[in-house]
């Protein structure tokens, strides 16, 4: 906590207030609510929040919402300076950081010195009274910390929950009846490119996807397809080049190169291996009966790792499904000890039942990193031609034809009220199920597949829940080793109940 100049503290026995400037006006907040004072941190912006909410930051493992005090009080916005600080207020398990222009010090006064009269018109809703600094003509407007923290009684909060349920009954309803394909067994895959060919590995075998780092340590006396080992979150991860494994020429690294981290299980033993691939494409979800067996001519001993072939886009696109277990069984048997390097150490960290791992698909929307649980992502596809639908709801960009199914598409930039931009090669359409309706969500780019523990997911700060029209934020993912935070979105709450009904109407209009 920063030290405050307290040479002007009044010696009277009374309540103490921390004093600060906003422009030329002085304000104060009861010291009882002050947790600490800090310099302005880097923040992650949150979509659909009021202008006075700057974003969220990771304060020693706690998600802290940062508020611009000027804008919150209805004052004119101003740029930060070297004197700007964040005062962290806390009460009743609520915590908020308010950005102020400059700290002054601490004053103490008695209750009878408090003037409940004239206050600034702009800040009137938050001002509890006015006090004059001793031996000065300066007035200090004392702010109500409870109002700044948006504290309300428990009964009001219960009423809000009931109102939300009544206004959005479809959120709590069963969706199985609307999904006619639930009896069809499906295969979900991460697809990627190696050279000109497209391959896929089942999501259940993929732990995560990370950017390829050049910090690979070579291991002597290994075949060329074993690139070496890297350190991934204090664990040793062997890296295999699928290009070299498939007798293809190695290509230069670029920003699209990725490592697909896969878990290999052998009898009662398991270990992780990272496959270096050229480009991760999509998350595919297809019917298992659409997977074709490998033709006998190709089903040789050297290609047993291909367990099936998918035909997509009316046969113009082929995806070879890889089975990591068979891949290791045939080609890497002689080097399995290298791939198991420190495997025992990898298995020491037993996951607590209360902290089960969860896989997320992260993506960017106007620089904001968001994510969906991977179980809610049906597919991820490249941007394609979107047909505009007359009289469609404002939030619908248009429709696409997905293998004979009409799918409405929503631009998340528009949905969140962010700056719009033209689609490019980086844009992706994330296909999700909203109340039993296949829906495409346009994002700027898909970043990676994350594996996080549930303890890393914090609940949404209450101030955000109070201010966001649609409670679509399920939580905030935090990382102990960095300031990175990811906003976990709820697929079902992206749209309101009314908007979901409007979405369903698109089917009727196009049938």
CA dihedral angle for residue 447, residue 453, residue 456, residue 459, rounded to 10 degrees: 100
Largest Cα–Cα separation, the chain: 97
Reading phi first (left if > 0) and then psi (alpha if -120 to 50, else beta), residue 346 is in alpha
Q: What is the pLDDT of residues 471-510, one digit of tens each?
A: 788 889 988 766 788 999 999 888 888 888 887 777 555 5
Assign 355 a pLDDT band (cuts: 50, 70, 90): low
What is the number of alpha carbons within 13 Å of residue 310 lying toward its C-beta? 24
Mean pLDDT of 274-281: 88
| SS3 per-residue string spanning 476-495 | EEECCCCCCEEEEECHHHCC
Nearest to residue 40, comparing CAs of 85, 72, 90, 89? Answer: 85
What is the per-residue pLDDT across 234-246, written as a single tens digit (0 to 9) for each?
A: 677 888 888 888 8
Under DSSP, the state recorded for 218 is P
Per-residue b or e along 345-378, where b marks 16 or more CB atoms closer than 10 Å to that residue's CB: ebeeeeeeeeeeebbbbbbbbeebbbbbebebbb
Sheet holding 279-287, edge to edge: 279-287, 186-194, 197-202, 317-322, 306-312, 291-292
DSSP per position, 106-170: EEEE-GGG-B-S---TTTTTTEEEEEEPTTS--EEEEE-HHHHTT---HHHHHHHHHHHHHH-GG
Closest-CA residue to 35 (of 83, 81, 91, 85)? 91
Which residues, 6+ apart, have CB-to-CB distance to 232 below 8 Å? 210, 261, 274
Quick check: 405 pLDDT over 60? yes
Percent of the chain with pLDDT over 90: 16
Higher pLDDT residue, 425 or 346? 425
Reported confidence tier of residue 91, pLDDT bands at 50, 70, 90: confident
pLDDT above 50 for 2: no
Q: Which distant-in-sequence residues (6+ apart) come within 8 Å of 367 by Cβ?
A: 45
H helix or E strand, kind and range, residue 463 = helix 462-467
Cα-based distances in Å from 427 to 96, 155, 203, 281, 382: 35, 45, 22, 12, 7
pLDDT of residue 364: 93
Q: Comparing 32-36, 265-269, 289-293, which segment has the lowest mean pLDDT?
A: 265-269
Q: Quick check: 86 pLDDT over 90?
A: yes
Measured in residues, the chain has a length of: 511
Q: What is the DSSP string of 322-356?
A: E-HHHHHHHHSGGGHHHHTTTHHHHHHSPPPGGG-
pTM over 0.75: no
Work out whether the CA dihedral 511, 375, 471, 413 comes out positive or negative: negative
For residue 148, pLDDT over 60 is answered with yes
Range in 15-19, 219-223, 357-361, 371-375 with the lowest mean pLDDT: 219-223
Q: Which domains does the chain have, with CATH numbers?
A: 15-151 (2.40.50.180), 186-348 (2.40.50.180), 353-509 (2.40.50.180)
Average pLDDT of 137-163?
65
Position with higher pLDDT, 373 vs 282: 373
Whether 338 shows a pLDDT value over 60: the answer reads no
pLDDT of residue 129: 81
Question: Strand (E) positions, 337-484?
Answer: 357-365, 368-373, 377-382, 398-402, 405-411, 428-434, 437-443, 445-453, 457-458, 473-478
Mean pLDDT, the chain, integer: 77
3-state secondary structure of 69: helix
More confident residue, 169 or 265: 265
pLDDT at residue 372, as a whole number: 94
Tokens of residue 96, six digits: 């908020």
Q: Predicted confidence band at 307 (pLDDT cuts at 50, 70, 90)?
A: confident
pLDDT at residue number 11: 43
Q: Is the predicted pLDDT of residue 192 greater than 50, yes or no?
A: yes
Query: Which pLDDT score is estimated for 183?
Result: 58
- Does the pLDDT at position 431 exceed 50? yes
In contact, 446 and 430? CB cutoff 8 Å: yes
- Label the pairing between strands 235-241 and 206-211: unpaired
**Which residues partner with 441 through β-bridges?**
410, 430
- Interval 392-413 mean pLDDT: 87
How far apart CA 79 and CA 222 sit, in angstroms, is 57
User: Can you tell me the distance from the alpha carbon of 78 to that of 311, in angstroms, rounded to the nearest whole number?
Assistant: 57
């Amino acid at each position: 906590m920063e030290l405050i100049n307290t040479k002007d503290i009044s010696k009277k026995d009374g309540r103490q207030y921390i004093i600060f400037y906003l422009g030329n006006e002085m304000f104060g907040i009861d010291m009882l609510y002050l947790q600490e004072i800090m310099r302005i941190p880097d923040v992650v912006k949150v979509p659909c929040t009021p202008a006075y909410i700057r974003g969220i930051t990771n304060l020693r493992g706690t998600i802290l919402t940062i508020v611009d005090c000027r804008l919150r009080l209805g004052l004119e916005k101003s740029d930060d300076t070297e004197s700007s600080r964040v005062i962290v207020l806390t009460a009743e398990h609520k915590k908020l950081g308010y950005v102020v222009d400059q700290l002054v010090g601490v004053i103490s006064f008695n209750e009878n010195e408090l003037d409940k009269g004239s206050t600034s018109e702009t800040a009137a809703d938050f001002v509890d009274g006015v006090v004059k600094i001793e031996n000065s003509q300066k007035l200090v407007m004392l702010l109500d910390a409870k109002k700044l923290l948006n504290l309300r009684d428990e009964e009001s909060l219960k009423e809000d929950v009931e109102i939300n349920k009544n206004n959005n009954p479809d959120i709590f309803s069963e969706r199985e009846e609307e999904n006619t394909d639930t009896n069809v067994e499906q295969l979900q895959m991460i697809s990627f490119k190696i050279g000109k060919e497209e391959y896929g590995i089942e999501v259940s075998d993929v732990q995560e996807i990370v950017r390829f780092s050049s910090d690979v340590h070579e291991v002597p006396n290994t075949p060329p397809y074993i690139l070496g080992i890297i350190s991934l979150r204090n664990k040793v991860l062997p890296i295999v080049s699928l290009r070299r494994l498939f007798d293809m020429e190695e290509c230069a690294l670029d920003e699209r190169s990725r490592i697909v981290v896969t878990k290999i299980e052998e009898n009662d033993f398991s270990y992780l291996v990272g496959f270096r691939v050229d480009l991760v494409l999509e998350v595919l979800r297809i019917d298992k009966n659409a997977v074709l067996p490998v033709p006998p001519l190709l089903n040789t001993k050297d290609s047993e790792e291909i367990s099936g072939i998918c035909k997509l886009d009316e046969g113009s696109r082929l995806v070879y499904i890889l089975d990591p277990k068979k891949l290791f069984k045939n080609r890497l048997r002689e080097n399995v000890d290298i791939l198991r390097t420190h495997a025992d150490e990898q298995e020491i960290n037993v996951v607590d039942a209360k902290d089960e791992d969860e896989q997320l698909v992260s993506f960017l929307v106007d620089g904001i990193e968001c994510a969906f649980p991977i179980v809610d992502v049906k597919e991820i596809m490249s941007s394609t031609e979107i047909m505009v639908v007359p009289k469609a709801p404002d939030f619908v960009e248009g429709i696409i034809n997905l293998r004979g199914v009409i799918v409405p598409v929503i631009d998340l930039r528009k949905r969140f009220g962010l700056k719009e931009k033209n689609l490019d090669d980086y844009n992706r359409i994330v296909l999700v199920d909203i109340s039993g309706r296949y829906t495409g969500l346009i994002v700027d780019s898909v970043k990676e597949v994350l594996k996080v523990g549930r303890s890393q997911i914090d609940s949404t700060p209450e101030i955000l829940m109070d201010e966001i029209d649609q409670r679509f934020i399920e939580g905030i993912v935090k990382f102990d080793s960095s300031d990175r935070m990811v906003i976990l979105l709820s697929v079902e709450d992206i749209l309101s109940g009314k908007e979901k009904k409007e979405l369903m109407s698109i089917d009727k209009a196009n049938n």
